[in-house]
A = this chain, B = another copy of it.
Amino acid sequence: MLVDTGACERNAHVCHHRRSDNGCGDCKVRPISVCSVLSLVELEQLEGLSQHLTLDKGQTLFGQDEPASAVFNVIEGCLRLTRLLPDGRRQVMGFALPGDFLGLALQERHSVSAEALGQVKTCRFGREDFAAITEAKPHLLKSLHARVRYELTLAQDQMLLLGRRTAEEKVASFLLSLRDRFARIGHNSVTVELPMGRQDMADYLGLTIETVSRMLSRLDRAHSILLVPGGVRLLDAARLERLAAS
């Protein structure tokens, strides 16, 4: 559970050049992002204020307690959102996938750090710029509002999971929710990719790495899942659902 506090990489690659090839118009995640409510004209305005930003595996998009100078749309890849206690205990607050919006809470300072779990592409907006846009566009505000409300219900689900579920239920529930999230962004498959390591799963579920590993092995032995490199194949989703729901 203790993690090293090694210096983190911040040298993300910013595309300053005009994005003629991939503007907002043909953005892959537009239909599932907060931008989906904007018209083509509005998208063009937005485009001028945005920057593409690419991160490599392990790089930090922003760190806990840093001033929140920008917000982001995730276009590609997966990020880990973590909060660290002074003594090194860590809680993973969530994993951001394509279409997710980072900085919803719009606080002065980020309450979590966001780190890339693989190559990640994001769309960056300056905080001031973004505040101005939402001010001017009530339907964007409503879209953001709907998204925070959704995030709040997810957070409450997670509170129930952390407070009252057993290790096995936690792991089963995690695999299913990840499958559903991937399905919603078009990755429909019985094989669920796990872009995060065991330690990340453990810190997300309030467990230790050993317990996560043991529960995965147990589910594997029971033929509920099949452990494959980089992911998990769900063999008996119904059984997992029963475990997750209780």
* Interface of chain A residues 114 through 156 with chain B (CB within 8 A): 138, 141-142, 144-145, 148-149, 151-153, 155-156
What is the distance, in angstroms, from A88's C-beta to the closest C-beta of chain B? 9
Interchain CB contact (< 8 A) of A83 among B105, B148, B156, B162 = B156
Q: In the complex, are the beta carbons of B111 and A156 less than 8 A apart?
A: yes
Q: A80 within 8 Å of B by Cβ? A: no
Q: A196 within 8 Å of B by Cβ? A: no
Contact A163/B87 with A149-B104, A152-B105, A155-B155 known, Cβ cut-off 8 Å:
no
- Choose the segment among A33-41, A89-97, A223-231 that binds chain B (4+ C-beta atoms closer than 8 Å): A89-97
Interchain CB contact (< 8 A) of A91 among B105, B144, B163 = B163
Q: In the complex, are the beta carbons of B91 and A153 less than 8 A apart?
A: no
Q: A106 within 8 Å of B by Cβ? A: yes
Query: In the complex, what distance in Å separates the CA atom of A158 from the CA atom of B164?
Result: 13
Q: A206 within 8 Å of B by Cβ? A: yes
Q: In the complex, are the beta carbons of A153 and B111 less than 8 A apart?
A: yes
**Best-surrounded residue of A90, A144, A148, A153 (most CB of chain B within 10 A):** A148
Q: A238 within 8 Å of B by Cβ? A: no
Query: In the complex, what distance in Å separates the CA atom of A152 from the CA atom of B152?
Result: 5
* Interface of chain A residues 158 through 210 with chain B (CB within 8 A): 158-160, 162-165, 203, 205-206
**B residues near A89, Cβ cutoff 8 Å:** 164-165, 246
Q: In the complex, are the beta carbons of A246 and B85 less than 8 A apart?
A: yes
Contact A144/B145 with A91-B164, A164-B85 known, Cβ cut-off 8 Å:
yes
Q: A6 within 8 Å of B by Cβ? A: no
What is the distance, in angstroms, from A180's C-beta to the closest C-beta of chain B? 17
Q: Which residues of A contact B (CB under 8 A)?
A: 1, 83, 85-87, 89-91, 93, 104-107, 111-112, 138, 141-142, 144-145, 148-149, 151-153, 155-156, 158-160, 162-165, 203, 205-206, 245-246
List 28 interface pairs A-B (beta carbons < 8 Å), by A numbering: A83-B160, A85-B164, A85-B246, A86-B245, A86-B246, A89-B165, A90-B164, A91-B163, A91-B164, A104-B149, A105-B149, A107-B153, A111-B153, A111-B156, A141-B141, A141-B145, A144-B145, A145-B145, A145-B148, A148-B148, A151-B152, A152-B152, A152-B155, A155-B155, A159-B159, A162-B163, A163-B205, A164-B203
